[in-house]
């Protein structure tokens, strides 16, 4: 009976020793094992798929383990700080990165609030300079009033009635740069219908005139930056005698209106 008890004690001792050795071996293996990026996807399905679909530089320049340098149970700092990589630019000094970059696995899929400007200008300073240098109603708006998501190019008709039926945003931008909309420049071929909605009285005069001016677009004469008033001599030179031009230097004293010439 005593022999059986002794054998039982010895077996229990050896079994415990084996278990301890096994746990120690597992622990040592865990300490020395090196994870690979390909290991992450075994447990984390969503994040790698997001990076693959829309990760930007987080897809091409870094891997999972470049950011997530620790993993439980041996590591506790599993969520990295953005500043670990992103430093040296004004934009990176902003607080609360995740308020816009809500998912770091697709960092350019920004979630924007309704009233953001200063944060945008840390990456897009040239647009801010244009808006301040050439004040317009656009200057008074927050960037996110027009750009409701990052990279959005809104339709002008969202806020503005087109000058002429059928005008598209592409047509608008030929004359009106979006961040300096009052610096109006246009090609000579710009249809008169784009001008007359703002200059209705001039349009009516052009419809009445029987001179060659009737065939011209507005931009043919009013070339350059709006508003520009051309000199008659640009096209006509000095067609009358020197004495007549000296006596009546202003052509419109006789011809009354360039849009409805009196001969």
State the average pLDDT over residues 115-140. Answer: 95
Kindly compute the dihedral angle of the four CA atoms of residues 63, 28, 18, 73, in this order, to the nearest 10 degrees: -60
What does DSSP assign to residue 116?
A: -
**pLDDT single digits (tens) 201-230:** 999 999 888 888 989 999 999 988 898 999
**Residue 202, pLDDT score:** 92
Residue 136 has which token pair?
């317009």
Question: What span, in angstroms and rounded, lies between the C-alpha atoms of 83 and 97?
Answer: 10
Reply yes or no on whether the pLDDT at 10 is more than 60.
no
Is 0.85 surpassed by the pTM of this model?
A: no
Which residue do the tokens 């109006």 mark? 184
Who contacts 218 (Cβ-Cβ below 8 Å, separation ≥6)? Answer: 190, 192, 195, 196, 199, 202, 206
Q: How crowded is residue 50: how many other Cβ atoms within 10 Å of its Cβ?
A: 17
What does DSSP assign to residue 197?
A: T
What does DSSP assign to residue 215?
A: G
**Residue 28, pLDDT score:** 58
State the average pLDDT over residues 220-249. Answer: 90
Who contacts 85 (Cβ-Cβ below 8 Å, separation ≥6)? Answer: 62, 67
In b/e form, how buried is each residue of 229-247, taking b as 16+ CB within 10 angstroms?
eeeeeeeeeeeeeeeeeee
Band (156; pLDDT cuts 50, 70, 90): very high
**Residue 72, pLDDT score:** 86
Question: What span, in angstroms and rounded, lies between the C-alpha atoms of 87 and 92?
Answer: 6
**pLDDT single digits (tens) 52-110:** 999 999 999 999 999 999 888 888 888 999 999 999 999 999 999 999 999 999 998 98
Nearest to 91 by CA among 110, 119, 111: 119
**Residue 71, pLDDT score:** 87
**pLDDT single digits (tens) 15-41:** 665 665 655 555 555 555 678 889 998
**What are the sequence ranges of the domains in the chain?**
39-111, 184-263
In b/e form, how buried is each residue of 125-161, taking b as 16+ CB within 10 angstroms?
eebbebbeeeeeebeeeebbebbeeeeeeeebeeeee
Q: How many CA atoms lie within 13 A of 181 on its CB side?
A: 10
**Residue 225, pLDDT score:** 85
């Amino acid at each position: 009976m005593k022999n059986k008890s002794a054998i039982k004690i010895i077996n229990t001792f050896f079994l415990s020793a084996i278990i301890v050795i096994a746990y120690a071996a597992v622990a040592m293996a865990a300490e020395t094992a090196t994870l690979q990026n390909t290991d992450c996807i075994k447990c984390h399905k969503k994040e790698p798929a997001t990076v693959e679909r829309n990760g930007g530089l987080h897809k091409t320049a870094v891997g999972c383990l470049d950011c997530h340098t620790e993993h439980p149970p041996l590591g506790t700092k599993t969520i990295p700080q953005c500043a670990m990589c992103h430093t040296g630019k004004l934009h990176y000094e902003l607080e609360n990165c995740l308020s816009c970059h809500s998912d770091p696995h697709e960092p350019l899929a920004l979630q924007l609030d309704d009233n953001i400007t200063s944060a945008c200008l840390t990456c897009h300073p040239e647009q801010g300079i244009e808006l301040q240098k050439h004040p317009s109603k656009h200057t008074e708006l927050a960037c996110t009033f027009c750009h409701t998501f990052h990279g959005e190019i809104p339709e002008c008709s969202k806020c503005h009635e087109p000058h002429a039926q059928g005008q598209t945003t592409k047509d608008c931008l030929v004359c009106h740069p979006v961040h300096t909309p009052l610096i109006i420049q246009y090609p000579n071929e710009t249809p008169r219908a784009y001008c007359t909605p703002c200059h209705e009285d001039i349009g009516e005069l052009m419809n009445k005139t029987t001179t060659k001016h009737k065939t011209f677009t507005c931009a043919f004469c009013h070339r350059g930056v709006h508003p520009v008033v051309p000199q008659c001599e640009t096209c006509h030179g000095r067609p009358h005698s020197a004495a007549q031009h000296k006596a009546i230097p202003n052509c419109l004293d006789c011809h009354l209106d360039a849009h409805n010439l009196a001969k």
